[in-house]
Amino acid sequence: DTAVSQTPKYLVTQMGNDKSIKCEQNLGHDTMYWYKQDSKKFLKIMFSYNNKELIINETVPNRFSPKSPDKAHLNLHINSLELGDSAVYFCASREGNTIYFGEGSWLTVV
Amino acid sequence: GDSVTQMEGPVTLSEEAFLTINCTYTATGYPSLFWYVQYPGEGLQLLLKATKADDKGSNKGFEATYRKETTSFHLEKGSVQVSDSAVYFCALSGQGGSEKLVFGKGTKLTVNP
């Protein structure tokens, strides 16, 4: 069983499209995250939710909108995709001081 | 703010060589420290962690010791294998259960047979 699962794993789409990445964790954790890994492998937090409430928003463009329908899910919707949005997006959840990551979603905007 | 500095890569070693990847941090108080590993085409996996000074984290033959006096958390392995080829990330989580991880830029390791 995958503890933090995200779909799709690979996504290729055209500029201007709107797309979503879904994330689910079956660990019972209250806190979930989205991280972005750029082409140079640098990882940076985008959002954090605690029990469905937004607690961190790291100056991400408002084309990115996270949604947490319940504490086990944190989806990421991206409007009007741009070339620069091409990256790997990681969902994660936290227990205590340890964060567990999903497998990543490889987004390519063409 | 909090930050993590890792040695620049890439690092290329022969099988059975000794590995050290340096990591230093800047943070207030007593952060928790982590090493994550990303194998080619895969996600991030927690490799090891340490939550207080002088703690040693270890896993799969890798070790790192939390050194408060030098603000360091260097990753070591005595004998690397080809299967250890990956990108290694040092990270910290701030004191008091800070909500986010701050990552270093990653170090790519290639182990040749």
Percent of chain B with pLDDT over 70: 96
Which of A34, A41, A42, A47 best probes binding to B when mutated, by most B CB atoms within 10 angstroms?
Answer: A41
- At residue B6 the predicted structure's pLDDT band, cuts being 50, 70 and 90, is very high
Cβ of B87 under 8 Å from any chain A Cβ? Answer: yes
**Closest partner CB to A90 (pick from B44, B99, B105):** B44
Contact B99 A96 (CB under 8 A): no
Could you give the CA distance from residue A101 to residue A98 in angstroms, rounded to a whole number?
Answer: 10
Q: Which residue of B has its CA nearest to A49?
A: B99
> Can you read off the two tokens belonging to residue B53?
């000074």
- At residue B96 the predicted structure's pLDDT band, cuts being 50, 70 and 90, is low
DSSP A80: S
DSSP A30: S
Spatial neighbors of A88 by CB under 8 A, at least 6 apart, are A36, A37, A104, A105, A106, A107
Q: What is the mean pLDDT of residues B46-59?
A: 95
Q: For tokens 């567990």, name the residue.
A: A100
Which residue stretches of chain A have pLDDT < 50? none
Q: DSSP letters of B36-78?
A: EEE-TT--EEEEEEE-STT-EEEETTEEEE-BTTTTB--EEES
- Decide if pLDDT at B98 tops 60: no
pLDDT for residue B25 = 96
